[in-house]
Structure 1
């Protein structure tokens, strides 16, 4: 099929080359027309993408991840696939339930900040980033937003001389513009493909804020999290999904959406969204005619939630929202995305039609409820990331539950509870066992599991940590944990 497609393109190009002189001859029939310049191969050849690729590929990275088996972004959408390359971890590791995979990403800050997909790093216990120049770094998650599938990670250690790329203006892209994808499909590092922007604002039903760019640039498993460039070398999207079983149909998160999320990801590690508290549907031409409206685009309010920001502002069912803060609202999805990018607590002006008359409503936006349980997943994911200590010394940790304190009579409500110890690991050799609570490291208090995991991760190889542990119903003892 590829050969036939290439052949057809060559035939089309040949047809154009033949047609141009014919057109020119027709034009010269007019006495006033200047004689045409002969067409040359050089003038009609497409420019090479090599200079663009050479200028940006050094900022594209491979992201290798060890993650919990459930943390690979496997959704329930039968029509679209996330494309995070990888497979089952080593057999016989049933206790760890660790999977390994490889995705892509790109460096946006010389300090080591890398953008990728949330489903690439979700549930990660260890992340290793490989650069185009052969260097590699451990990395940590800075922030994630599962609802748009965006994640920000940071390279650890001494980072210097990093090549970076910048986010461009995805709204400036036109359907038909050339785009270039770079990533690591099937582990083939720094693979380049090109195509065009096929469509904008695609809703693939993967989440409430779908606004994907569609491209026919070849993207495959392992491209996940990689950049989609315009011909200026700016990132206009993060490659995220493909049609299951399809070819030439891929989707990318628009760069303008990523830019809007970046400050919260870097500062807070998560995204908090504003909320109106209404149910909506698109205004169609038929509905507009039936409602005797002078507009054909907008969002119809189908219901107003009790005690919601919209309800408190006096919004009613069948109101038609056509603008927010002066920005036109073309659909319900556009309204949802626009509101979500605003800061909770701010006051917005909504232009609505009610009973055929236009009026303005001022609404103080609330905070969107966490209906999908994203916050809970992020907390679990954070604990799993901190518990990368299991990969280094063979110990799993969790925070001390107050109910355990009451039931077992522990002296301290703070510390790191040992939940599992791998046979033959440094933790087992240090005589750690499930049920023990680590309350001190090197004679300094430990408040929670995350704190202890961080100490273990940063401990130099060959060092020994002096742990004070409490055994419920027995007392406190010292343990020496050797760091491999």
Structure 2
């Protein structure tokens, strides 16, 4: 557009400046802010760390049974090698044929040959060849190959593996190797930048980055995982999670997925936990853990309120193994463990890690919450053996329902009966009542016929009459805690008394 009047042109330019000036200034401020806010540059970090991240390939050998092999197999191999054609009379390639007796199906390697099992990642932690990875990466492998980024390949020796923490330690015969520096996972903060290096889908030395999403994610008894949004896929397992200082803070181990691939959530084993395991593996080839022989559960806010605990904390004892350390120390089902060896227990998953880290044979103090007061006991920790499980007895059956029909449920919806002395001895309980009918609040809380009611609030239940009298005295505006025994496990259920239910 051309303006004939210079004055008019100047006026139009001034008007445009008045209108667009603030917008232009805002864009300038945004550009300045962007230039002042520097996103992390991982290039130097990756260049320094990558040489110590390795690919791990495992194989297994298909066993050859005696009597296998035949002249036909030898002749077929002769024709294939020297003439490049199938043996006359052999099946057409690609045509499905059933395997001969004792032969592997088509598409499988001949028995006795080595075949690949899987691919994972790992990282070198010492110049003399110690490599850390996941236990599931090398599980059941006959041969383990470690390939360095410079394409050198070594056959590795498995020093030891711990399935409970999913940590394994390998050794390759080499010296002067590049290694990664180990950091302090206790200092990890949610929101900090991290990166993963590994071999997803066999793609060696792939790098992905993200942030720490959370700490202390409880997905296993001994694993307070670091949660991140770093892309981790099959093949990344065993690779390092590295902070901006170039330190390993975790071992990438698991993903949350509904499809089998990465969906935005991944988990890493804290390096402090992993090093405690590898130190034992390096020394003895196995991991020794303590145990106190209890089954535990979380303390909910409702349970804490009903028992006068103040706030939800500790570990609720559900069952005590007969003859185990906890029973010898006087711990009972329904107790809440507040401290172990002087350390507070905020949630139930804290206890297994504390006990597991305790050397077997050590006598430690514990603090319990029982019947509205704390109680101190001492317990001697024993060794956790592989696959140790508490014995579980069958659930007792309900008595004749005709008898129950004649009674009327109390305000908790329960009809209960006394337990004969012989039955108490069989159940190994000192007192309690057996549930005949569970209705109303009790049914909604999960109580069922055959359960044993041990306590109501802080009062031990000694008879059906006494229990019903206790229920009558409950405040309908307050939640009541009922200690219920089922099999060998005791749980605390919270109920609010309702109107007496009719049957």
* Shorter-chain TM band: 0.5 to 0.7
Equivalent position to 1:175, from 180, 184, 190: 190
Matched, 1:227 2:240: yes
Using a 3 Å threshold, how does the CA distance of structure 1 residues 370 and 324 change in structure 2: closer, same or farther? same
Q: How many residues align?
A: 323
2:369 counterpart residue number: 353
Asked if 1 retains the 8 angstrom alpha-carbon contact of 2:280 and 2:287, the reply is yes
- Deviations 1:251-285 (CA, angstroms, capped at 9, x unpaired): 11111211221221111111121001111111111
Tell me if structure 2 keeps the 8 A contact 1:89–1:98: no
How far 1:169 sits from its partner (Å)? Answer: 1.5
Conserved? CA contact 2:230–2:266, under 8 Å: yes
Identify the residue that residue 67 of structure 1 maps to in structure 2: 60
Q: Of 103, 113, 126, which residue of structure 2 is paired with 1:109?
A: 126
**Equivalent residue of 2:142, what SS?**
strand
Q: 2:34 and 2:371 mapped to 1: Cα distance?
A: 63
- CA-to-aligned-CA distance 1:387-432 (integer Å, 9 cap, x gap): xxxxxxxxxxxxxxxxxxxxxxxxxxxxxxxxxxxxxxxxxxxxxx
Q: Does 1:54 align with 2:47?
A: yes
- Residue of structure 1 in register with 2:206 after alignment: 191
The 8 Å contact of residues 67 and 121 in structure 1, kept in 2 or not, is answered as no
* Cα distance in 1 for residues equivalent to 2:388 and 2:152: 38
Shift of 1:122: 0.9
Partner of 1:239: 252
Distance in 2 of aligned mates of 1:152 and 1:358: 43
Say which SS state the counterpart of residue 332 (structure 1) adopts: coil
Q: Conserved in 1, the CA contact under 8 Å of 2:57 and 2:116?
A: no
- Counterpart of 1:119? 136
Task: Verify: 1:136 aligned to 2:153, yes or no.
Answer: yes
CA offset at residue 55 of structure 1? 1.7
1:265 aligned partner: 281
State the match for 1:163 in structure 2.
Answer: 178
* 1:328 aligned residue: 344
**Which residue of 148, 153, 163 maps to 2:165?**
148
Q: Deviations over 1:344-368 (max 9, x none)?
A: 1112211211222123221110111
Alignment RMSD (CA, Å) = 2.8
Unmatched segments (≥5 aa) in structure 2: 1-21, 63-104, 390-503
Choose from 32, 45, 58 the match for 1:39: 32
Contact 2:56 2:147 in 1 (8 A): yes
Q: CA 1:89–1:40 in 2, change beyond 3 Å: closer, same or farther?
A: farther
Of 77, 88, 91 in structure 1, the residue corresponding to residue 108 of structure 2 is 91
Q: Report the CA distance between 1:97 and its aligned residue.
A: 8.1
Question: Does the CA contact (< 8 Å) of 1:283 and 1:296 recur in 2?
Answer: yes
Cα offset for 1:98?
4.3
- The whole-number CA distance in structure 2 between the counterparts of 1:66 and 1:369 is 29
Q: Map 1:260-409 to 2 at 5 A.
A: 260-371=276-387
Distance 1:95 1:137 in 2: 22
Structure 1 127/97 Cα, relative in aligned 2: closer, same or farther at 3 Å? closer
Output one character per residue of 1:83-122: Cα deviation in whole Å (capped at 9) or x when no partner.
xxxxx99723345684432110000111100000111111
Note the residue ranges of structure 1 that are not aligned, 5 or more in a row.
1-17, 26-36, 70-87, 374-484
Cα distance between partner residues in 1 of 2:119 and 2:307: 52
For residues 152 and 38 of structure 1, the distance between their equivalents in structure 2, rounded to whole angstroms, comes to 49
Matched ranges for 1:377-456 at <5 A: none
Residue correspondence of structure 1 range 204-223 to structure 2 within 5 A: 204=219, 207-223=220-236
User: Aligned partners of 2:113, 2:281: CA distance in 1, in Å?
Assistant: 29
Q: Distance in 2 between matches of 1:90 and 1:168?
A: 46
String of CA shifts for 1:99-153, please: whole Å, max 9, x gaps: 4321100001111000001111111111111112222211110010011111000
Preserved contact between residue 63 and residue 127 of structure 1 (Cα < 8 Å): yes
Q: 1:41, CA displacement in angstroms?
A: 4.3
Displacement of 1:237: 1.0
Q: TM-score, normalised by structure 1?
A: 0.62
Q: How does 1:2-41 map to 2 (within 5 A)?
A: 39=32, 41=34
- What is the aligned partner in structure 2 of residue 429 from structure 1? none
Say if 1:372 and 1:98 are closer, same or farther in 2 by CA, change over 3 A: farther
